[in-house]
Amino acid sequence: MKDGPHIARIAALIGDSARAEVLTALMADRALTATELADVAGVTKQTISAHLAKLLDAGLLAVENQGRHRYFRLADRDVAQLLESLMNVAFRAGAVRLRASPREPALRRARVCYDHLAGEVGVQLHEALLRQGYLRPAGDGLTVTTAGAEWFAHQGIDTAEVARQRRMLCRPCLDWSERRHHLGGALGAALLQRLLERGWARRDKDSRVLHFSAEGELALRAWLAPAAGEPASNDVALHAAQIPAGA
């Protein structure tokens, strides 16, 4: 007797090279047109239309019509989580690209994992929040401590409000390039959004890479300092976090 959902169809869809490139490009949580995705996948517009139709039919993508244009994005966070897990397995198994992109070092340092911060910076921040007692492991996820709620409030994030979202508040997300965890969940998304709103980080136009401004680098150093054993207090971290973008 065969039990559980039939995964072969989904696996076959993701396993196609062109469709895999499309899904990876959409991990940046940005909507792209068929023309843009055809360029990413290296196929014709006619071919990409067939690929997109299959991905839509399987519920892996969603589409939004805006005037004459149709914009495609990942259907939801579950699809993004599946893709990130596959990237972890592929990296561990040595299934890496023969010719690395020039963006590879930047991608490993800081990138968007659908809607939260990943890469070396994301892992370091997650570990700093744990070491400083702002987050605490709880079962398969994480919980925010009282001190953590105060720290996030200093960054302009109301953890009680974020917790009302219909998703896990915070969870460890295994980082494919670092092989350690970064911060996922609603809180991870809120933290990345604050970095972007303050101008401390900006997304690369054509990839998942994140670039940090001078102010953003200063804030990150202050946030990470206690975890690294450096003589920085929470007051220093708060001061750095309150530096306005462009100052």
Tell me, what amino acid is at 29? D
Q: Decide which of 3 and 39 is more confident.
A: 39
Residue 160's SS3 state is helix
Q: How far is CA 167 from the centre of its chain?
A: 15
Pairing of strands 111-113, 116-118: antiparallel
Give me 133's structure tokens: 């007692």
The answer to whether residues 107 and 101 touch, using CB atoms and an 8 Å cutoff, is yes
Residue type, 88: N
Q: How confident is the model at residue 232 (pLDDT cuts 50, 70, 90)?
A: very low
- Helix residue spans in the chain (DSSP H): 8-15, 17-25, 34-41, 45-57, 77-92, 104-109, 119-131, 146-154, 159-163, 185-197, 214-228, 234-241
Of the candidates 167, 148, 172, 171, which has an alpha carbon nearest to the alpha carbon of residue 158? 148
| pLDDT tens per residue across span 89-117 | 887 776 655 455 556 788 889 999 888 99
Separation of alpha carbons 70 and 59, rounded Å: 16
C-beta separation of 143 from 241 below 8 A: no
- Pair of tokens at residue 39: 């360029």
Residue 226's pLDDT is 62
**Cβ contacts of residue 132 below 8 Å, gap of 6+?**
147, 151, 226, 227
* pLDDT band (50, 70, 90) for residue 176: confident
Q: What is the mean pLDDT of the chain?
A: 85
Alpha carbons within 13 angstroms on the beta-carbon side of residue 95 total: 9
Gap between the Cα atoms of 35 and 88, Å rounded: 29
Q: Which of 111, 118, 145 is nearest to 129 (CA)?
A: 145
pLDDT digits (tens, 9 = 90+) for 136-149: 999 878 999 999 99
Looking at the predicted structure, is the pLDDT value of residue 209 above 50?
A: yes
Tell me the C-alpha distance between 86 and 93, whole Å: 10
**pLDDT one-digit tens code per residue, 44-77:** 999 999 999 999 999 999 999 988 889 999 998 8
